[in-house]
């Protein structure tokens, strides 16, 4: 009875060792393949299916009629008004340090 358990245990441990060896070998093959591709540890299969993302083109600020200069002037005025409003708020909240 005891010999049978030892035999099964030996077979299981050999199978586990073989499985771990195969997993390690597969990991090394993937690592070497991706290192050649210059992508670190990425899988070569993932590299072949990756599609580049397009960069969005910025749209210039036009007004309703499509006039570029008027749109820029309106944008600059809006920025200036917002900055002045923030400055006024900060000045109003600041303590008075007048001598």
pLDDT(27) > 70: yes
Domain that holds residue 19: 1-45
What's the start-to-end Cα distance of the chain, in Å? Answer: 101
Instruction: Report helix, strand or coil for 99.
Output: coil
Looking at the structure, tell me whether residues 38 and 67 fall in a common domain: no
Tell me the pLDDT tens digit for each residue of 32-91: 665 555 555 555 555 556 666 777 666 666 555 666 677 677 777 777 777 778 777 777
| DSSP letter (8 states) at residue 8 | H
Q: What's the confidence (pLDDT) of residue 49?
A: 60
Is residue 90 within 8 Å of residue 84, measured between CB atoms? no
Looking at the structure, tell me whether residues 66 and 40 fall in a common domain: no
Looking at the structure, tell me whether residues 66 and 30 fall in a common domain: no
Looking at the structure, tell me whether residues 39 and 67 fall in a common domain: no
The structural domain count of the chain equals: 2
pLDDT(17) > 80: yes
Looking at the structure, tell me whether residues 31 and 70 fall in a common domain: no
Looking at the structure, tell me whether residues 8 and 40 fall in a common domain: yes
Tell me the pLDDT tens digit for each residue of 86-98: 777 777 777 666 5
Looking at the structure, tell me whether residues 37 and 68 fall in a common domain: no
| Residue at 53 is within a domain | no
Cα 72 from chain centroid?
33
| Residue at 98 is within a domain | no
Looking at the structure, tell me whether residues 41 and 67 fall in a common domain: no
Q: How far apart are CA 35 and CA 29, in angstroms?
A: 10
| Residue at 54 is within a domain | no
Q: How far apart are CA 74 and CA 84, in angstroms?
A: 15
* Nearest CA among 23, 39, 41, 22 for reference residue 31: 41
Looking at the structure, tell me whether residues 35 and 75 fall in a common domain: no
């Amino acid at each position: 009875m005891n010999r049978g358990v030892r035999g099964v245990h030996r077979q299981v441990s050999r199978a586990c060792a073989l499985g771990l060896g195969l997993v390690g070998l597969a990991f090394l093959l993937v690592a070497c393949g991706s290192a050649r591709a210059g992508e670190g540890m990425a899988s070569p299969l993932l590299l072949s299916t990756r599609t580049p993302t397009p960069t969005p083109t910025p749209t210039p600020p036009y007004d309703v009629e499509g006039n570029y200069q008027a749109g820029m002037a309106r944008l600059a005025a809006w920025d200036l008004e917002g900055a002045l409003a923030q400055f006024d708020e900060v000045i109003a909240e600041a303590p008075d340090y007048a001598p």
